[in-house]
Homo-oligomer: A and B are copies of this chain.
């Protein structure tokens, strides 16, 4: 292993999310999940364990501000040198104009993850997963994705000097292919059903490191990835003046973001910096919502039918145990959000100056869906990705008007300005 011995990471091992007493060496990352507790029917994820008792664990919090992922190195898996594209350090925006627009009497904050290097939260995850690829001396990175995850993996792989293969289904938003190609990725469109088998072949034949999921019965993902999302919790804590929110609402596909943010807050409590952990609310499209169904049925993960949803980035049909763990561990809930509530949230954000893809607005959509049952305390909605990523773009350009005042005035009347 080409692990940098100078790293200040306090990571000690991989451990089972189901049974934290079951630990494995930190290297290599076990990208097929927990080998002891997984079965053919249910596959369980791993996470990274840290020596939180070490003095450097609270160093970044003592400094009072951390601007880069590497500033959190003690609490992250080892990061590769030079991988920094400026991920993290996103603003926490006062959400009161948005709450007012939606008729919510909630102390609302919006964490805008579209202000990341590839304009989504995924850059935090891939800073960790691509670092793992570098430190394993992998020949490259392979990822199955047609959206934010693939683009982020491609960008950070490019930064790290690693080739990246993106297995994408046909039918992604067309601009996504330009996006992926700009990073020099090899973009291969194959039927969705073939992607996992091909990922495994690229891993075994080419020595590439997989940064997306390999386990078909339940999502386990990369054990190092969700650790990157912990930095969202750390930043929110500092940005709220060393306060912990009462609730965090998170767009939820496989539950990695939900779990990572929750884990970050649990570490703040373990470090003695905070006395509570927020309730974690998963926002899933009602058309799918595998976590909602798993919790309702008392399962560790569920599989759901591929009912149509426009929330492409979180419209997963297979859940994973991380989501169950974060919701149950925090006293939260998984909210099945209607397409209408997501659209309402997306529109309210746009009308307040924040353009999110539909999935990116799902956390706020869940807050709308909670209606009069609003959670107490400061509430943080995580906005995950730019509106440019959405399907259904571009809309129709406006008709060109003659440049006369009369014609313009008619249009302004139609728009309610005159």
Contact = CB atoms under 8 A, between A and B. Distances in A.
A115 B112 contact: no
A30 to B, nearest CB: 25
Contacts of A156: 353
Most buried by B among A186, A355, A394, A405: A355
A49 to B, nearest CB: 30
A159 B110 CA distance: 13
Contact of A158 (B68, B189, B351): B351
A401 interface: yes
A174 B394 contact: yes
Given A197-B403, A417-B186, A170 B206 contact: no
Interface in A353-384: 353-355
Most buried by B among A158, A172, A182, A195: A182
A197 to B, nearest CB: 7
Interface residues of A, number: 87
A353 B158 contact: yes
Nearest to A396: B177
Interface in A302-361: 350-355
Interface of A: 65, 67-68, 82, 84-86, 89-94, 96-97, 112, 114-119, 140, 155-159, 161, 163, 165, 168, 170, 172-175, 177-179, 181-184, 186-191, 193-195, 197-198, 201-202, 205-206, 350-355, 386-388, 393-405, 408, 411-412, 415, 417-418
